[in-house]
């Protein structure tokens, strides 16, 4: 029996990925820190869609977490043919004011765990000549973002990694897509201390983002940037000097209230 494995599946975009794949009749393996939320999702999705739902509570910001997830799937002979590396978080503020532990957790979650999960599940996909990998990046991957320096840098890594890997496996049956959404209504802003509606950027809904990603990977599209305004921002950034785009990014995304809080004013 084949499964879609979704990380960060207890809330936000990850939860919507689970719901959308379930509505398409796909069996699920849901991974997140909150076992209680996962069990609630399992019960709801099974009852509504009649699919198999497996849950595995795990803190993916720990270095050994990817091996634990893969080991769990291997021991139970769960065939993962779709991997959605969605788990992530953001915490905005001056780089030097945020703890090094926060930076390390973000780097581990966005980069190390994502790479390890991909490295562990990819060989099985290649042997079957079939598989799909969606890696959650962001429009911040295309430029630096003051007060979200590590977040933007890790998302840039995800984008380049996904593009490169896709080219490596393009002659196989494995497809790789980097999803680069703009601001989306999810719980990620709670941890970041930012109200997205107080920024100067459009705020999208998770469902169109998820559907765009699933359609994109089915077409073996390298990058998907949902939303017309987000596409305009990306293409404009390619024409302007990087220093200018950094200033524009600061002006557009800055939440004065949250920045003053981060600066201790």
Using H for helix, E for strand and C for coil, what is the string for 82-109? EEEECCCCCCCCCCCCCCHHHHHHHHHH
- The pLDDT assigned to 92 comes to 86
174-179 β-sheet, strand order: 53-57, 28-32, 2-7, 79-85, 131-136, 174-179, 223-224
Query: What is the count of structural domains for the chain?
Result: 1
Would you name the residues annotated as active-site residues? Answer: 151
Rounded to whole angstroms, what are the CA distances from 79 to 20, 30, 75?
19, 14, 11
Q: Where residue 33 falls among pLDDT bands split at 50, 70, 90?
A: very high
- The pLDDT assigned to 144 comes to 81
Q: Where residue 262 falls among pLDDT bands split at 50, 70, 90?
A: very low
Q: Where residue 177 falls among pLDDT bands split at 50, 70, 90?
A: very high
Q: Where residue 261 falls among pLDDT bands split at 50, 70, 90?
A: very low
Whole-number Å distance between alpha carbons of 48 and 50: 6
Of residues 229 and 114, which shows the higher confidence score?
A: 114
CATH number at residue 100: 3.40.50.720
E runs forming strands in 141-186? 174-179
Whole-number Å distance between alpha carbons of 92 and 151: 9
Whole-number Å distance between alpha carbons of 90 and 253: 14
Whole-number Å distance between alpha carbons of 29 and 70: 11
**Mean pLDDT score of the chain:** 87
Q: Where residue 143 falls among pLDDT bands split at 50, 70, 90?
A: confident
Q: Could you tell me the residue range of the domain that residue 238 belongs to?
A: 2-262
Q: Where residue 147 falls among pLDDT bands split at 50, 70, 90?
A: confident
Whole-number Å distance between alpha carbons of 160 and 144: 14
* Closest to 63 (Cα-Cα) out of 104, 23, 100: 104
* Closest to 69 (Cα-Cα) out of 17, 5, 162: 5
Global pTM?
Answer: 0.86
Q: Where residue 11 falls among pLDDT bands split at 50, 70, 90?
A: very high
The model's pLDDT over 181-199, given as tens digits with 9 standing for 90+, comes to 988 776 655 554 555 555 5
């Amino acid at each position: 029996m084949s499964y879609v494995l979704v990380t960060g599946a207890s809330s936000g975009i990850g939860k919507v990925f689970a719901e959308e794949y379930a509505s398409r009749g796909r069996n699920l393996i849901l991974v997140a820190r909150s076992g209680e939320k996962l069990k609630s999702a399992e019960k709801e999705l099974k009852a509504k869609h009649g699919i198999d739902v497996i849950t595995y509570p795990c803190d993916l910001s720990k270095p050994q977490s990817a091996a634990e997830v893969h080991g769990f799937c291997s021991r139970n002979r769960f065939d993962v043919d779709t991997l959605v590396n969605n788990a992530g978080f953001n915490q905005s503020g001056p780089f030097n004011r945020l703890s090094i532990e926060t930076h390390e957790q973000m780097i581990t979650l966005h980069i190390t765990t994502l790479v390890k999960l991909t490295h562990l599940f990819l060989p099985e996909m290649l042997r079957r000549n079939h598989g799909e990998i969606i890696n959650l990046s962001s429009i911040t991957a295309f430029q630096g973002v003051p007060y979200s320096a590590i977040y933007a840098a890790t998302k840039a890594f995800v984008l380049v990694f996904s593009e490169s890997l896709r080219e490596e496996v393009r002659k196989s049956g494995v497809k790789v897509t980097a999803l680069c959404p703009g601001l989306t209504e999810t719980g990620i802003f709670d941890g970041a201390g930012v109200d997205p509606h107080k920024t100067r950027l459009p705020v999208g809904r998770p469902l169109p983002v998820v559907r765009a990603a699933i359609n994109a990977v089915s077409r073996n599209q390298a990058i998907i940037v949902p939303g017309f305004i987000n596409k305009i921002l990306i293409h404009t950034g390619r024409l302007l000097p990087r220093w200018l785009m950094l200033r524009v990014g600061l002006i557009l995304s800055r939440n004065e209230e949250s920045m003053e809080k981060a600066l201790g004013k």
